[in-house]
Amino acid sequence: MFDQSFIWGAATASYQIEGGAYDDGKGLSVWDMFTKVEGKVYNMDHGDVACDSYHKLEEDVAILKELGVKAYRFSISWPRVLPNGIGEVNAKGLDYYSRFVDALLEAGIEPYVTLFHWDYPYELYKKGQWLNDASSDWFAEYTKVMVDCLGDRVKHWMTLNEPQCFIGLGYFSGVHAPGHHYSAFDIIRMTHNTLLAHGKSLKVIKDARPEASVGFAFVANAVVPKSLEQADVDAARDFMFNRYEKTENKDDYDFTFDNDYWYDPIMLGKYPDWVTKMYRDYLPEEEQLRKDFELISQKVDFIGLNLYQGPVVEADGPYVKVSKQKPGQPFTALNWLVSEGIMYWGTKFMYERYQTPIYITENGLSNKDWVSLDGKVHDEGRIDFLDRYLRQLDKSYQEGNDIRGYFQWSLLDNFEWAEGYKERFGLVHVDFETGKRTPKESYYWYKNLIASKN
């Protein structure tokens, strides 16, 4: 099961764990503002304190070191280092991340930095956010600040985390910050600017640090074929990369989570055919589009896949249909399907199509966890979940798909966006009133797994 070169890690995101929302000159983010609106987040929860990791740097690094991970994926709070999103730099914010990176390296843990995990600067939101054509330049400026600060020590970078969510859920369905319902015209434009932001950010990093490893971490909408019959396997592949064409009923079709819509521009240098057929008038003119794709499709060193759930699908004539769920289908506490087969099929199909090394940058589940009377957190369900998914990942790995590492989501119970503190994804239980950390049984299971592979 895997070999010694495989990277075992854990992952978190800045707004979900840091707290310190108004400390040391930090600017506001769209999530700081969204959580103030009644009815947007469960229980009116917010990230003002979260796990208080901003003030518990040493404790959290010690927890990581005891876990034995080789790597830690975390994100930078853009408004913590640039309170206005651009312009004046907040030295105290930079100092926090610099100290954090030093502490990780001293503990023998390699930092994997995500530049953007949804906490968009509120001051730039007021200027039009991703709909403003200058937004990709704003992101490039922010990237340069971070690379100048951390590039001598950080070797692994991810530009963006899950644009499917911060664009699709933030500006199309409106269930995440900033909570808008924009038109398809606006979403296409925002997507293009987001992809340009990735490309310009990658160029900034590579220009400054050619040796750096740069990729991205996107949602991977993976599925499992109903059978091993070739028709069903082909249907699953089609559903992953050609869902629009293979979906019979296109009423109220939400394209913002289609894999080809996001991955193909970066990996293949073009939008899928259905996008250019339907939305060509919404995109830049041909010559500008060609120049944009030169930036967008620069070679990445790896693809980050965030894999959690996926349906079973089957061939249905010229279309693909989602199979009916089996009675008693297991679900997580967040009502996500337990579908471990996506780790095999998702990585297999992604590697077939793009021939680029893969990291699993997120995988885990929300579980109904609490500290028992014996002082322990008995989360056997999480252990079983991780075991199932990792066995399927290993199956793909053993078949020769180039999978470099696995980052468990999440190190800590944290602020789970619109679900507030109701959902617990962590290997470590957090008491959100006291901040106390209690490693769960899954923490020790994962620790033993990592130790057995080193």
Phi, psi of 43 (to 5 degrees): 65, 15
Residue 281 is classified by DSSP as G
> Which residues does the annotation mark as catalytic?
162, 362
In sequence order, what are the beta bridge partners of 36? Answer: none
- 10 Å Cβ neighbour count for 387? 13
Bind-site residues for substrate:
16, 117, 161, 308, 409, 416-417
Strand-pair partners of 113: 74, 157
Q: Are 118 and 176 in contact (CB under 8 A)?
A: yes
* Closest among 70, 67, 68, 88 to 79, alpha carbons compared: 88
What is the full per-residue pLDDT of the chain (454 aa) written as tens digits? Answer: 899 999 999 999 999 999 999 999 999 999 999 999 999 999 999 999 999 999 999 999 999 999 999 999 999 999 999 999 999 999 999 999 999 999 999 999 999 999 999 999 999 999 999 999 999 999 999 999 999 999 999 999 999 999 999 999 999 999 999 999 999 999 999 999 999 999 999 999 999 999 999 999 999 999 999 999 999 999 999 999 999 999 999 888 999 999 999 999 999 999 999 999 999 999 999 999 999 999 999 999 999 999 999 999 999 999 999 999 999 999 999 999 999 999 999 999 999 999 999 999 999 999 999 999 999 999 999 999 999 999 999 999 999 999 999 999 999 999 999 999 999 999 999 999 999 999 999 999 999 999 998 8
What pTM, to 2 d.p., does this model score? Answer: 0.98
Q: Which residues carry a binding-site annotation?
A: 16, 117, 161, 308, 409, 416-417
Residue the block writes with tokens 């790995």: 397
- The SS3 call for residue 121 is strand
The full set of domains in the chain, from first to last, is 7-453 (3.20.20.80)
